[in-house]
Structure 1
Amino acid sequence: MSRFVRPSKYRHVFGQPAKKEHTIENVKLSNSAWDTNLIDASARYISVNWQASGGGAFAILPLPSPFNPPPHNLPYKLPDMIPLARGHTAPVLDTAWSPFNDSVVVSAGEDGKILVWKVEDSAFDHWGTEHWEPEDFDPVARLSGSGRKVGQVAFHPTASHVLASASGDYLVKLWDLENADDPRVTFTGHTDTVQSFAFNSTGTLLVTTCRDRKVRIFDPRTGGDAVRVAEGHGGIKGARIAWMGNHDRFATTGFSKMSDRQVTIWEGSNLKTIKTISIDQSAGVVMPFWSDNNILFLAGKGDGNIRYYEYDSDSLHVLSEHKSGEPQRGMCFLPRRALNVSECEIARAYKVAGSCVEPIAFICPRKADVFQSDIFPPAPSAEPSLTASEFFNGKVAQPKLIDLDTGFISSATSAAPPVTPSPAPASAPASAPPATPRTASMPKSYTAPAALTIAETPQMDRLKAENSASEAPTPRSSASAFPDEELSLENVRLVNELRDARAQIRNLELQVETMRTNASKAAKLLEGSVP
């Protein structure tokens, strides 16, 4: 066994459960046996599949958080009767929040329907007041998803109003919510129930896992049969999938023929297996969640722990695990743009355990008070890169990213190559638009969470002072300061290079310190071996 420790800036990340007043109790979780996460979150709300009589329903609740207080002082213990999103005639199986509008959520149910909902803050104004009566939410659109169950729904990562759904007739469909009479693209070829699916970072590839134990990759611009098919996990139990950010890699979790739980890393361009790791022999399905910090979180249903690994050079390196005595039935992660950067929170999970929803913040401990750019890469923003019509016409664009320190939004600089055997029309990636201040770049329906506004006052002032001392230009909040668009883009590029250089310096300092420690240990061992 090696005596030397692999350097990592995430080695000491730990999970911090929220206090009782920041949890939600008296949650009546759905008893449906369909395998989904049961909960999903936007930057403002969470949705929970609810056990309701007379059809299907799910709850919409303001985001519980120890760092981002909800806009309304709701009690942590819910009353027995609360407003629900009713509209399905059978249990709700899955929900998904739009990545570009924190108030829009879609639901899928056993009745084969897909419903679209729009949440208004005023819906929570009178909660808990005297003579208060719950008033249920009403859908704003209805889609006939399938003649059978619709088990999973997910939004496209770069195109607005584009939704994917998987149904019990073994089909995956893409919808344009602005014109949702019929699906725009249908994926065929599955011979059994689709268990999970995921887009790559640009939405040019879609990969699925199926109960027939195969992994398939599709071209969303053409539809039809899979362009590549490979053998997946040997066990018949549920297999899940998560695309690994802008890498040409994705991770699947499943079971071996001997019922060992496994996680496998795949190459997205040709469906080759890179590495498979055995986790344990428990029976619960493992839910994978990817963070752009190159961290893969694994949470097993029925487990009380959350494991997390760092991805580096096609290997998964164990970091640690968050342990709890309460087994989870479902889980989701908060969008990274809503994290509390002032507390070095790199990820936040919402765990459903029993009748409680518990936030768990994953903290990377740092002593400095300034923004830690090396542990906070730019996050997907709330602005789409494409319209639905542009996407279905074959256009491809990089996702727009938001700097969690300054709030500037730009296009991604790198992404997984859109490799497919069947070529489809595609335009060049969109160039980065001029950077704009945070408040101007957000959609009208978006409210910046407290986690982002906290980092704007003393930390930004210190950062600007450091940039000025280093003779690097600093982005300004006034558009009139940059009459030339090219000058504005060049200024943003220089600031990004400076930030990356500082992150590299910190990483090198960490490696030097590790080498000094290892050298000291080696010297002591040599001294002990000399007579």
Structure 2
Amino acid sequence: MSRSIVRQSKFRHVFGQAGKAEQCYDDIRVSKVTWDSSFCAVNPKFLAVIVEASGGGAFLVLPLSKVGRLDKNHPLVIGHSGPVLDIDWCPHNDNILASCSEDCTAMVWQIPDHTPTRPMSEPIVVLEGHSKRVGIVSWHPTARNILLSAGSDNLIIIWNVGTGEPLIIMEDHPDLIYNVSWNRNGSLFCTTCKDRRLRVCDPRKREVVAERLAPHEGIRPMRAIFTREGNIFTTGFTRMSQRELGLWDPVNEVTNGDSSIRYFEITDEPPYVHYVSTFSSKEPQRGMGFMPKRGVDVSKCEIARLYKLHERKCEPIMMTVPRKSDLFQDDLYPDTAGPDPAIEPEDWLEGRDEDPILVSLRDGYTPPKSRELKVAKKNVLDSRATPQRSLSSCDGTNLPLWSM
């Protein structure tokens, strides 16, 4: 009699649990802008949500501990003159957040540890360089003060927010950019685009170094992220509009499989992407924020925490691995990226790469107190040359292609 073999995995029994009513954030007017964004960003200190606002764009920032019903007079961040489309917390300073908007700008904000008594309207720096709405902001994972923005003008601009200047401008995308993801050390980033191409870009060379047409055959938008090992994980749709995922090796091989709202484990053994479990919910999400690994509760064997946006509230979802022992579980918590940058912006721009500076979670993680981000804007009469725009071709000629 044959017996099926169960793959051994420490995540085999992982399960998700929605927060109780008293752990949720209620009466939040989540933005109804028809833009494909998460509308939510979270770190070990704060929860930020893009909200409805009259006369411009706004987002809400709450300390994680401020659960329950939102005070209708709670001050908002209101500096943008158009709807806010994306927000992203700085990985190296829990009090710094970037935002972007239909007003064609990106802004960087210093969020105080205390709750302000009035709306915040003065960003640290305003980044102006796009000619159309800006839909994506993404901090560099290891370099201090490096921020990427992408707009409907199909430009990607990389900024030094410490000086407010654009460092690199890339024009390699002929259509709307859906998403951008840095690799682990920030030497490359991948993008998905309305032209149905998946691209890998080297920003310092100002060129696309690899690309693939239609990783998923469906015409609906796809998303891509770099994994820790340097592969690219994508989500998209089949021709029949069924959800599909893919794990891509830019050098060697490709593996595909269909998916739903499920947990997967990515390993080095075929078929590389392994289904683990499913978390079901009655209500679809309006957006989702993901807590950095350093912000999870190790005492409860929590390996991830998601913040799910509904129409009028935000609900935390904790993913835990059951363990009988109260001791620290080393196998669940390898050292993870900490809050300190590994490299200065000038060094990164000159070609140096560094992996993230890791911290141990053995004693948990306590967010440091607020650190001020100082901006020293360059003189407009500075003789430094204007950043070069990318001259690489968009048609894929002479570019390396991934093999099937």
1:242 to 225, 230, 235: 225
- Secondary structure of the structure 1 residue equivalent to 2:299: helix
Contact 2:107 2:126 in 1 (8 A): yes
Matches within 5 A, 1:70-109: 70=65, 74=66, 76-109=68-101
- Equivalent position SS for 1:52: coil
Which residue identity lines up with residue 154 of structure 1 in the other structure? S
8 Å contact kept, 1:187–1:218 = no
Measure how far apart 1:189 and its partner are: 1.7
SS of 2:78's equivalent in the other structure is strand
Please state if 1:274 is matched with 2:231: no
**Structure-to-structure mapping, 1:320-359, within 5 angstroms:** 320-359=277-316
**TM-score, with normalisation over the residues of structure 2?**
0.87
Aligned position for 1:255:
237
Whichever residue aligns with residue 350 of structure 1, its letter is Y
Alpha carbons 2:59, 2:76 under 8 Å: kept: yes
Deviations 1:397-447 (A, max 9, x none): 12111111157xxxxxxxxxxxxxxxxxxxxxxxxxxxxxx88xx86537x
Q: Is the 8 A contact 2:113 2:369 kept in 1?
A: no
- Structure 1, unmatched stretches of 5+, are 64-69, 125-132, 281-305, 408-437, 447-531
Distance change (3 Å), C-alpha of 1:107 and 1:207: same
Q: Is 1:389 equivalent to 2:346 in the alignment?
A: yes
After the TM superposition, which of the residue ranges 319-328 and 228-237 deviates more from structure 2?
228-237
- Cα shift readout 1:440-471 (whole Å, capped 9, x = no counterpart): xx86537xxxxxxxxxxxxxxxxxxxxxxxxx
Question: Residue 107 of structure 1 aligns to a residue in which SS?
Answer: strand
1:136 Cα offset (Å): 3.3
Amino acid at match of 1:249: N
Matches for 1:160-309 after TM superposition, within 5 Å: 160-181=144-165, 183-223=166-206, 225-231=207-213, 232-245=215-228, 247-268=229-250, 270=251, 274-279=254-259, 306-309=261-264
Structure 1 residues 322 and 25 mapped into 2: Cα distance closer, same or farther (>3 Å)?
same
Q: Which SS does the other structure have where 1:55 is aligned?
A: coil
Q: Show the counterpart of 1:44.
A: 45
The structure-2 alpha-carbon separation of the partners of 1:334 and 1:236, relative to structure 1 and needing over 3 Å to count, comes to: same
Percent identity over the alignment?
A: 37
Q: Higher Cα Rg: structure 1 or 2?
A: 1
Q: Is residue 140 from structure 1 mapped to residue 120 from structure 2 by the alignment?
A: no
Q: Choose which of 239, 244, 266 in structure 2 pairs with 1:311.
A: 266
Letter in 1 for 2:329: Q
Structure 2: segments with no counterpart, 5+ residues: 372-404
State the alpha-carbon separation in 2 of the partners of residues 2 and 191 from structure 1: 53
The one-letter amino acid paired with 2:370 is S
RMSD (Å), alpha carbons: 1.8
Match of 2:112 among 112, 120, 138: 120
User: Could you say if the C-alpha distance between residues 401 and 100 of structure 1 is closer, same or farther in structure 2, counting changes exceeding 3 Å?
Assistant: same
CA contact 2:141–2:182 (8 Å) conserved in 1: yes
Q: Look up the equivalent residue of 1:156 and give its one-letter code.
A: H
Q: Report the counterpart of residue 158 of structure 1 in structure 2.
A: 142
SS class of match (1:276): strand
Give the partner amino acid of 2:133.
K
Q: Which has the higher contact order (CA 8 A, sep 6+)?
A: 2
Q: CA deviation at 1:256?
A: 2.2
Distance 1:25 1:406, change over 3 A: closer
For residue 137 of structure 1, report the CA deviation from its aligned partner: 4.8
| 1:350-389 mapped onto 2 (5 Å cutoff) | 350-389=307-346
- Kindly tell me the number of residue pairs found equivalent between the two proteins: 367
More strand per residue: 2
Letter of the 2:223 partner, please give it: R
Q: Give the match for residue 10 of structure 1.
A: 11
How much has 1:77 moved relative to structure 2?
0.7
Task: Tell me, in whole angstroms, the C-alpha distance in 2 between the residues paired with 1:444 and 1:92.
Answer: 27
Deviation at 1:338, TM superposition (A): 1.4
